[in-house]
Amino acid sequence: MGISRTLARNKTLRYGVPMMLLIIGGSFGLSEFAQIRYDAFKLRGKVDPALEERIKKNKVTLESEYEKLKDANFDDWKNIRGPRPWEEPESVQEQQR
């Protein structure tokens, strides 16, 4: 009984040991989360070869898109808002047209 009471009063055992366990355990846990992050980054860089071929074929540049929009007439353009979640999409857009 006397030894357990002495150990319970000892500030090093009461506060220091749990703090050291938290710091050391946290570093191991953090390294696991960091490893998951790096593994996901490696997977993100890989692209499907078929998709990569399609990307290479479709050369769309900013200049080509500008040429398409340069001669467009936006004077008679009308803004139509999208439907709200509780409204039916077709009926709202037909009313606005």
- The C-alpha atoms of residue 6 and residue 13 are separated, in whole angstroms, by 10
Place of tokens 């499907």: 48
Closest residue by Cα to residue 17 from 27, 4, 8: 8
User: Would you say residue 21 has pLDDT above 90?
Assistant: yes
Residue-wise pLDDT for 64-83, tens only, equals: 889 888 888 888 877 777 78
- The C-alpha atoms of residue 19 and residue 23 are separated, in whole angstroms, by 6
pLDDT band at 1 (very low <50, low <70, confident <90, very high): low
- The C-alpha atoms of residue 13 and residue 57 are separated, in whole angstroms, by 68
- The C-alpha atoms of residue 95 and residue 38 are separated, in whole angstroms, by 52
pLDDT of residue 85: 84
* pLDDT higher at 92 or 30: 30
pTM: 0.37
